[in-house]
Amino acid sequence: MLMDGRMCFPCLVPVGGGTAGAVLASRLTENPDWKVLVLEAGGDETELSDVPVIAQYMQLGNLDWQFKTEPQPTACRAMKHWRCNYPRGKVLGGSSVLNYMLYVRGNKKDYDNWALHGNYGWSFEEVLPYFKKSEDNLNPYIAKNKKYHSTGGYLTVTEPPYRSPLAVALVAGGVEMGYENVDFNAERQTGFSFPQGTLRRGARCSAAKAFLRPVRLRPNLHVSLRTFVHKVLINGQKRAWGVKYEKNGEVRVAKARKEIIVHVIQDLKVGYNLQDHIGIGAATFVVKKPVGLIQPRFENVPTILKYALFGKGPLTSMGGIEGLAFINTKYANASEDWPDIEYHFTSGTAANDGGRQIRRIHGLNDRTWHEYFKPIAFRDTWSAFPTLLRPKSRGLIRLRSKNVHDYPLIYHNYLTHPEDVARLVEGLKMSVVLSETKAFLKLGSAFYDKMFPGCEHTQFFTDAYFECLARHYTETIYHFSGTAKMGPYWDPDAVVDPELRVYGIQDLRVVDCSIFPEIPSGNTNAPVIMTAEKAADMIKVRWGYTKDIIDIHHSSIGEDTGYGHKRG
């Protein structure tokens, strides 16, 4: 396929072998007449990345681009130089190799709103079949709900085999607060539950493992690792015809006969509309009983052997996240089933490993560590990480220079909208209520009453204190989205149309979470997989290959929407 090593002629070129790229390569090579070249800047995933409990330890290493935000005073004040880490996967499988493996689709209303604003084909009823297409759900009590779940897909979804007493307390405490124990990927989202994750036999099921490994021997698939893309090549007729890339110190060109699929830099509003889910890690609760996931408890020979031989034990916990909850603050309309806060319940805090790695991954400064977390190092603790589901604050990504190797300038703009602050304050207050339920009190749980550094001017349990916590320990949940916004041609902020085609450029699509007009109310890995599944069908219809595609809204797929020329 690479011919002389300088020019290749595949039909389709996905730039990036991340979550979306893996799905697209798998689905598009189902047509034996199409050649697909995947260009991935990183290498292959490692055996260590398969171990669920050490998910966060994959950050700041060779598998991570290691981006950082620019210093801003509104948030991340507890981090070194006020800069938040921005992890992104530099590996085949992308961020699905670094993430916490949580399988959350988001809320029905998210997608209905996308469609309501002119994105035809993206209502919940229209995207649900694409969620189900990938899914191989191994939990019988979940999989039996055929309306919302399926089995037999490439992506293994299941609950972790390990469950600590703290996880049980979370769900029981939620019920005490009046919430239901729900399947948040089914009829209703509001409620408490044990997490569903992309796990297979107790190990991580990344997008590469799920979608690429089963088809790796297809002769029409070529994956080029450690390949850094410089630019998309566009001719005078505004048609994307190739990709310029670098491998082994040599600059080469790959030519596409059909399409290039990429997150691009284009003369549109690329980089605007940046959205993220942020969680607040400063609300810490200590526990008297030995029930947490502190490092000495799972870093030992018996635990490692149990994992290696049987795929069980605490090493199967997904980065220590043992529960999820979707709750309504006083600002949400509870009758809509559209909660505004998600709890990422962790059976520990930054103190779990005694300062070895978590403090570095979160970017905590020395004062925060020594004054707040070091006194409880290796003690049993937990945190609920209240997470803002639909932030109104919008960030921005810009090029740092003309040098393709320079990292971009990332302005998160966290907590610049007052409503975001108000909802997170309520989420923090409700986590205190959760800690006072009988389920947690039985474990000797109590609020850690150490004043958070930088908040000395406030008083415990006041709105001012909780706002201070939010502005200091502002932790990304790694859901960076929206910078190549999907929208109808009349939307001046749209970068791609509802078929993910870049406005003004032929044969170029964007397929990843950057196309989300508004971030879904949940974790983003499952929505990205859905988006790629849907995009694969769009591309198949565009080029006349309709075998095995989902028979849904084809009257809109491929119709003439101006293809951006009205904007050009």
Q: Where are the domains of the chain?
A: 1-45+91-160+202-269+481-568, 53-89+161-194+276-476
Residue 9: predicted pLDDT: 59
566 pLDDT tier (thresholds 50, 70, 90): very low
- As given in the structure block, the two tokens for residue 403 are 């040098």
**Does 502 show up as a binding residue in the annotation?**
no
Q: How far apart are CA 67 and CA 88, in angstroms?
A: 7
Fold match flag (1-45+91-160+202-269+481-568 vs 53-89+161-194+276-476) = no
Q: Tell me which of 362, 412, 472, 479 is the catalytic residue.
A: 479
Q: Is the pLDDT of residue 7 over 80?
A: no
11 pLDDT tier (thresholds 50, 70, 90): confident
Selecting from 3.40.190.10, 3.30.560.10, 3.40.630.30, 3.40.50.720, what CATH number does the domain 53-89+161-194+276-476 have? 3.30.560.10
Contact 197, 102 (CB under 8 A): yes
Average pLDDT over residues 153-164: 97
Q: How far apart are CA 453 and CA 439, in angstroms?
A: 30
Q: Is the pLDDT of residue 556 over 70?
A: no
Whether this model's pTM surpasses 0.75? yes
Determine the Cα angle at 119 with ends 273 and 265, to 5°: 40
| Residues above pLDDT 70, as percent of the chain | 94
Q: How far apart are CA 510 and CA 503, in angstroms?
A: 11
Of the candidates 34, 473, 371, 469, which has an alpha carbon nearest to the alpha carbon of residue 219?
34
Q: How far apart are CA 58 and CA 358, in angstroms?
A: 11
Q: How far apart are CA 216 and CA 223, in angstroms?
A: 9
SS3 category, 243: strand
Q: Where does 70-212 have alpha helices with state H?
A: 108-116, 124-134, 140-143, 165-176, 207
Q: Is the pLDDT of residue 533 over 60?
A: yes
**Could you say which DSSP state residue 196 is in?**
P
CATH node for 1-45+91-160+202-269+481-568: 3.50.50.60
Q: Which residues, including other chains, have CB under 8 Å from residue 486's CB and lie 6 or more apart?
A: 114, 119, 122, 494, 495, 496, 497, 498, 500, 515, 516, 517
Average pLDDT over residues 349-369: 95
Residue 268: predicted pLDDT: 84
Residue 479: active-site member: yes
**Could you say which DSSP state residue 335 is in?**
G
Residue 552: predicted pLDDT: 52
Contact 293, 449 (CB under 8 A): no
Of the candidates 323, 316, 322, 341, which has an alpha carbon nearest to the alpha carbon of residue 331?
341
Average pLDDT over residues 32-47: 96
Q: Is the pLDDT of residue 507 over 70?
A: yes
pLDDT digits (tens, 9 = 90+) for 435-454: 999 999 999 999 999 999 99
Q: Is the pLDDT of residue 467 over 70?
A: yes
Determine the Cα angle at 377 with ends 373 and 382, to 5°: 75
Residue 486: predicted pLDDT: 98
Average pLDDT over residues 245-261: 92
Average pLDDT over residues 65-84: 97
Q: How far apart are CA 322 and CA 164, in angstroms?
A: 8
Q: How far apart are CA 400 and CA 389, in angstroms?
A: 29
Q: How far apart are CA 10 and CA 39, in angstroms?
A: 12
- As given in the structure block, the two tokens for residue 375 are 């006194």
**Does 495 show up as a binding residue in the annotation?**
no
Using CA atoms of 374, 376, 379, 380 in order, give the dihedral in degrees to the nearest 10.
-120
- As given in the structure block, the two tokens for residue 380 are 């049993």
